[in-house]
Structure 1
Amino acid sequence: MKKTTLLSAALALLSATAVAQPAYNMKVTKNDGSSIVIPVKDVADVTFNTVENQETTFKSGVGSFVHRDTQSNTAVYLLELSTNIFGDNTTMPMSKLYITLLGKADTVNIKQLSAPVGTFTIGDPNEPESSKFYPGILNENGEAANTFLGTLKSAQDPMDIKLINGGTLTITPKTNRKYALEGNFTFDDGSTLKASYEGMLVIDNNSGEIAPADTLPLPESKLAADTTLVFGNKKYGIATDFSIGRFGIKNKSEVYLQLYTDDSYATCLDLYLLIDNEKYPGKKQIPAGKYPVLPKIDWENISANELSAEPAWRVKTPEGSRVDLGCWFTWDYAYKAPLVGGEIEVLSGNTDSSELHLKFNLKDAKGHTVKGEWKGKIE
């Protein structure tokens, strides 16, 4: 198996002119080639100077969850410690310690992120392993990456950079989301850094992952018999392209269709279509083909189909309200039938051309069917 670098973190200079509060970005590249940019503030032009053995106590810390890989069971985090209180960008000199480290993928709680804990030793980016941190390097642009110390004597002076290539880091959890960090690092010039920090370490989500929704029980279907929908001359259709990643559904474009039988809006068929973003990379398209209604909303079922439709499901939002998703049939404004089986066949259409032709044969939990055909414009 070809080895790939899981992550490369680099500081990229945004402005060549030193100002009172210059800004940089931390660019993080994952092993699939995609990348994200995380703002890193208050550093200036970078030079590489020798610093003697030192001992530093840091006053503030922040972190980011960047990526996880299930094959290696690793999760990548970026930590940033500062000798200044959080928000103080003027007190000089100021040092910042950047650490790229790996925890375990199966311990990540995307709804309530926390820093990985334990003792971390130097690791190999080509062999991702939990409880490791990556050595500092210069990336292809000659910029510092992974784990290093940067020191500013003033806002106008260049930042002194020391690349870390050895040592240990111990992270111990405390109460109220606080942590104690003790690091004994070796720089690439042989000098050492003894680093310590105790305090808050909030971990932000920069991975692109979305927390799975909290599902609620479905109501009983109000359908008493099979139904055929007839869309008249005053039918009305709406398409909403949610793109990818909504409600934890990754790598699938999600298109929401609302099909009304007439302009009274009393009778409506709601459909949520899932489209493989790699097989069909174009935006705002509804590829022709058959969309089976998934038996359940989970990654196993979603990933098994290039084209599919969500069954009816009900979620609870963080604010406590209720949202109905998937395939639903509503009539007389208030009566509902959650549709959990069947198939939708798209014959032609996309959300750009405002034309759509599809047929559907859907079922509720009792086996009652909702059939019909839509051919016409959508907005």
Structure 2
Amino acid sequence: MTETIAPPPHALNGRPAAGKAGDFTAPARRPQIDRLRANLAGVILGKPEAIDLLLTALLAGGSVLMEDVPGVGKTTLAKALAKSLSLDFNRVQFTPDLLPADILGGNVFNPADGSLTFRPGPIFCNVLLADEINRASPRTQSALLEAMAEGQATVEGVARPLPAPFFVLATQNPADFHGTFPLPEAQLDRFLIRLRLDYPAAEAEIDMLFDQARVHPLELVEPVLDGEGLRKMQAAVRAVSVERPVAAYIVEVCRRTRQEKRLDLGASPRGSMMLFRASQAAAYLAGRDFVRPDDVQRVATAVLAHRCMLSGEAKFGGTDKADVLREAIDAVPVPV
């Protein structure tokens, strides 16, 4: 059982705690967060945990990989998020013949004056849905690496900044591997969170039938936050206080995955940093300006599972990676 840690008097590295002048204080941000949740919950029924994970990644400035079967609402959820934020949204259907230039754009020759003009690709937006990302070749998949890691795209030797905020929501189908190219570990590591929507509960699926009988709920989604407001929230998330014992807890959780015999690959130091960021966002979503160990526990599996690799023996023995991670997390003493 996790014990409550009192709000710390100062932030990490001497930064002021969130909630000071110029930041989004808890009372000011709750209506926006609640309305954003309500927008997404009205489109994807019965999935509050998945919605909170998606918002956690958004506020932390990371990207999301949704791995699930077709028809459970992955694309709809991405569109609802884009409409709720009043941001530019582009969707790219990944196919085996898709080229990096189809995503990044390129220079176009103007025969009138012999000049070259850069024509941006669909990646130059705020929210990019990379649908069925594992159906494109590794060369095309790698076009997203720089964008997700550095917020820029290098086209023909010129680094071009992407719009801010920038958020990638990629999907892949784990049930059909025919004609696919599994994402390598280096690219999986660029996603802050991997989540699954799973099939809805029976009652939620019945409600969905009636909700879409006359009009799709997506058409009723209204913007609740603009890009400037989101950038301010993301800045406030970075200012959420993390005490050193909690940071040590994050590191120890990641180190425990490296010592787990059922894992051939544990979480890297980048995994520790991503868990740190996600924990700050989880605390912010909960209306607090400091991180508690239960914030870490709430997001740890979604942040670390795709960064770890089961051993061959564990994989063929039917071991669930999420169970391994939960056991590793439970074995780490909780700071008091």
| TM interval, short-chain normalised | under 0.3
Larger CA Rg, structure 1 vs 2:
1
- Identify which of structures 1 and 2 has the higher relative contact order when contacts are C-alpha pairs closer than 8 Å and 6+ apart: 2
Q: Which has the higher strand share?
A: 1
TM-score, L = length of structure 2: 0.18
